[in-house]
């Protein structure tokens, strides 16, 4: 069984509230889970203690059983010191796409032409 530690969404429209759960990866996002490990409320201030609450002991147990955390849950666990921090670098994300580069080149050529 492939295990995941992930977020299950709750709350109403535009008022999200998430449960951090250990579940089989084949189950739906908000479907059946094995254990609730904590909560995450993105509407609270980032420095609030109630924004993320995790039972670290149970999270370590599930990680020991082979559960893989999702990206967001991994960040929570890194902040809590349960797992080692990973270096994230995506330098291509900041670069413009092909069409934007082409438009910029055309604009520069047009500006150069009118300057002459």
> What CATH number does the domain containing 41 carry?
3.30.1320.10
Are 82 and 63 contacting, i.e. CB atoms less than 8 angstroms apart? yes
Confidence of residue 42 (pLDDT cuts 50, 70, 90): very high
Q: What is the pTM of this model?
A: 0.74
Note the pLDDT of residue 17: 94
**Number of separate domains in the chain:** 1
Strands 52-54 and 3-12: unpaired
pLDDT tens column, 50-102: 999 999 999 999 999 999 999 999 999 999 988 988 888 878 887 888 999 99
In a domain, 40, yes or no: yes
Tell me what percent of the residues of the chain surpass a pLDDT of 90: 70
Distance CA 106, CA 108 (A): 5
In a domain, 115, yes or no: no
Look at residue 8 and tell me whether its pLDDT is greater than 70: yes
Note the pLDDT of residue 44: 94
């Amino acid at each position: 069984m492939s295990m995941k530690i992930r977020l299950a969404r709750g709350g109403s429209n535009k008022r999200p509230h998430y449960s951090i759960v250990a579940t089989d990866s084949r189950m739906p996002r908000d479907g059946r889970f094995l254990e609730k490990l904590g909560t995450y409320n993105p509407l609270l201030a980032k420095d609030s203690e109630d924004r993320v609450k995790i039972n670290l002991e149970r999270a370590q147990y599930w990680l020991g059983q082979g559960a893989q955390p999702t990206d967001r849950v991994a960040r929570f666990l890194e902040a809590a010191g349960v797992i080692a921090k990973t270096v994230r670098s995506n330098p291509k994300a900041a670069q413009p796409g092909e069409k934007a580069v082409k438009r910029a080149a055309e604009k520069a050529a047009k500006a150069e032409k009118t300057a002459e």
